Amino acid sequence: MGKKTKTQPYPDTTNSQQQLHHHQPPPARVRRAPRGVSVSICVKYTIFTFNVIFWLCGVAILGFGVWGLVSKSVSSVEAIAEEVGIKLDPMYGFIIIGGCIFILAFLGCVGSLRENTCLLKLYVIILILIFLAEVTIGLLVYFYQERFSTLLDTWVEKTLLNYFDDPDSQFLMDNMQEGLECCGVNTPNDWQKNPYFNCSSIAHSRCSVPFSCCVPDPTTNVINYQCGYGVLELPQSDWYQFIYTIGCAQALTDWFKTNAILLGCIGGALILMQSIAICLARSLIGDVEEVKSYW
């Protein structure tokens, strides 16, 4: 008889599989915030809407500043570059303010949409700093009204003296005299302080005032740039027929007094909007952080 071969049975893998399953870690449980704990959609998109409005305002202010620079001659920009810190073009101020509002609104929009607490906290900090600066400036202007009026007089006089020497001063003075319907600092005769308009000057503009001092002719829309020539040689009683007789310092003071309520309402509305934006942003930050605490 042949020799029987002993067959090897299949290895029992049941125990090894059980041991393997025994050593495997349990599947991770996904933690979720309990029902009722979530980010407020209303707060989120209210902040976004607010900042879209701020963003549009920033673009408008930025565009106005750029337009103010482009609409003037290139020499004015060169003059500013030579005298940085002494004669800063106000249009650069509009550009800086518009750029800051643009960046701030960008932080608010992205921070709210992405629910990014870092951007939202930076947004809140900048808003608080702006809020404090506005309140401080408002209080200083209110308690130092006479000092503020003196600063206006000094600024108008410097602008008048630099009328032909600085294109920026010329641009500002012309727009101020046309907009406020004024001439000179206190009277049109102040233009004699400018060497180009002084009656003892040999220039063609002697005893004259800029065209922006002239009362516009209602029959035509054409600007007469020589309408102010020789006006200061006429009797003062006849000036009103050709030019504005109120000074720009007084006109500026009167404008601020006349529009004090309007300016106060605008400032109050701005501060209110900023306060609401700060509160909403802090609420959104709290919601996001509470939801993240359950992750």
The amino acid present at 14, given as its one-letter code, is T
The answer, yes or no, to whether residue 24 has pLDDT greater than 90, is: no
List pLDDT tens digits, range 196-217. Answer: 888 888 888 888 999 999 988 7
2 φ, ψ to 5°?
-70, 160
Q: What is the CATH code for 149-255?
A: 1.10.1450.10
Q: Determine the pLDDT at residue 78.
A: 44
Pairwise CA distance, residues 209 & 68, whole Å = 24
| CA atoms of 172 and 209, how far apart (whole Å) | 15
Residue 111 burial by Cβ neighbours in a 10 Å radius (0-12, 13-18, 19+):
buried
In the predicted structure, residue 183 carries a pLDDT above the cut 90: yes
What mean pLDDT is predicted for residues 143-150?
79
| Distance, CA of 72 to CA of 77 (rounded, Å) | 8
What is the average per-residue pLDDT within 181-195?
90
Chain centroid to CA 172: 19
Q: What is the mean pLDDT of residues 149-172?
A: 82
Q: What are 258's two structure tokens? A: 């006349």
* Per-residue confidence (pLDDT) for residue 121, from 0 to 100: 92
Query: What pLDDT, on the 0 to 100 scale, is given for residue 191?
Result: 92
In angstroms, the CA 26 to CA 108 distance is: 42
Q: At what angle do helices 117-143 and 260-292 cross, to 10 degrees?
A: 160
The pLDDT assigned to 204 comes to 82
Write out pLDDT tens, residues 40-75.
888 888 899 888 988 898 898 888 888 877 765 444
Average pLDDT of the segment spanning 262-270: 85
Domain with CATH 1.10.1450.10 in the chain: 149-255
Nearest to 286 by CA among 54, 124, 127: 124
**pLDDT score for 124:** 92
Contact yes or no for 16/66 (Cβ under 8 A): no
Residue 25 has a pLDDT of 55
Q: Are 292 and 118 in contact (CB under 8 A)?
A: no
Mean pLDDT, the chain, rounded, equals 79
Average pLDDT of the residues in 113-137? 89
Phi/psi of residue 214, nearest 5 degrees:
-75, 145
